């Protein structure tokens, strides 16, 4: 009998046969509004038939949604994020939660460095100036990356890869802030976010999202970064106080920012897009062909392992590695 998988996010057509051949029935989701239970689209499937959900961290799954799916056994998060999955509710109901840790780290780290280089060297601004015929006017000096100080906020898998690129590719000094120092890292540790920002020329945000990190980068942090400092965010928009960022960019209290994520996305404040010292990309850091293939392969692996009685490859922290058996 097929195992029914409710899809909050679509599986590319080329990858669907692998899921179907493995015995999974794909059920597109329908959500009337953000507070309503997420149910199979068009009433095509009985909610009680759903055994697993594929979601992403920014959509998640609430306790009410879990209650609407009484036979739910497994929640798979496509990427590494799981901030809007109610983990307490999942544990109470015996539902396993797994994510895609390690599947998109390389793509996100690459994008972070691309944003950093583009912002510091003002590549978009220079391109626009040349297109306007302002060749001579645009030939202003810009900071170099080599030899600078980069602060990594969140030294997880992605943070480690960013640190490696900065240190080995651009001979940068690297420091970081986590809730606790990493015992396996010899990098400089700063015990507060503001201390890291004060030390750094470039502050790269790659910490998880969620209530615990909301506005972790605030007005005080940005002031500590200073008028010559640059902010890069490839984590979640909620980590940065958008109002404080807009104010600091307007006043040139920091030199610039490059964001792949925005608080309240996909809506972007007009006050943000009006600024000339910011680069914005539409949450695409993890969207390389290689990363997408790896993420969906992990989802299929998690589903197959769980429903065949084997531990899932990447249970989220705090989840016992239980199985369906």
| Residues designated catalytic | 236, 265, 283
The sign one gets for the Cα dihedral 312, 98, 56, 151 is: negative
The DSSP line for 183-217 is: TT--SEE-SSHHHHHHH-SEEEE----SGGGTT-B
CA dist 132 and 191 (Å) reads 46
Q: What angle do CA 260, 217, 250 make, to 5 degrees?
A: 75
CA dist 50 and 206 (Å) reads 33
List the structure tokens of 224: 């500590």
Edge-first strand listing for the sheet containing 24-30: 39-40, 24-30, 3-7, 50-55, 74-77, 96-98
CA dist 2 and 20 (Å) reads 8
- 25 forms bridges with which residues in the sheet? 4
């Amino acid at each position: 009998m097929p195992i029914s998988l409710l899809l909050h996010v679509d599986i590319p057509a080329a990858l669907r046969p692998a899921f179907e051949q493995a015995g999974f029935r794909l059920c597109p989701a329908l959500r009337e509004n953000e507070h309503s239970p997420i149910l199979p689209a068009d009433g095509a499937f009985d909610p009680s038939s759903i055994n697993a959900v594929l979601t992403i961290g920014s959509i998640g799954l609430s306790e009410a949604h879990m209650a609407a799916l009484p036979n739910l056994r497994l929640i798979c998060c496509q990427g590494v994020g799981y901030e809007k999955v109610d983990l307490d509710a999942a544990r109470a109901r015996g539902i396993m939660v797994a994510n895609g840790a390690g599947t998109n780290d390389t793509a996100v780290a690459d994008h972070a460095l691309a944003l950093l280089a583009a912002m510091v060297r003002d590549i978009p601004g220079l391109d626009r100036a040349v297109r306007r015929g302002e060749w001579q006017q645009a030939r202003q000096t810009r900071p170099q990356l080599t030899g600078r100080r980069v602060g990594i906020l969140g030294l997880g898998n992605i943070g480690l890869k960013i640190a490696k690129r900065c240190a080995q590719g651009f001979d940068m000094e690297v420091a970081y802030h986590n809730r606790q120092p990493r015992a396996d890292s010899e990098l400089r540790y700063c015990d507060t976010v503001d201390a890291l920002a004060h030390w750094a020329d470039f502050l790269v945000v790659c910490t998880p999202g969620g209530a615990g990190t909301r506005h972790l980068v605030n007005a005080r942090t940005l002031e500590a970064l200073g008028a010559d400092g640059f902010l890069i965010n490839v984590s979640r928009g909620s980590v940065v106080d958008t109002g404080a960022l807009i104010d600091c960019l307007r006043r040139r209290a920091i030199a610039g920012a490059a964001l792949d994520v925005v608080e309240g996305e996909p809506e972007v404040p007009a006050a943000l897009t009006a600024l000339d010292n910011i680069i914005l990309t539409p949450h695409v850091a993890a969207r390389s062909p290689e990363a997408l293939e790896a993420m969906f392969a992990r989802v299929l692996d998690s589903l197959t392992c769980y429903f065949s009685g084997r531990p899932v490859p990447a249970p989220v922290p705090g989840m016992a590695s239980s199985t369906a058996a």
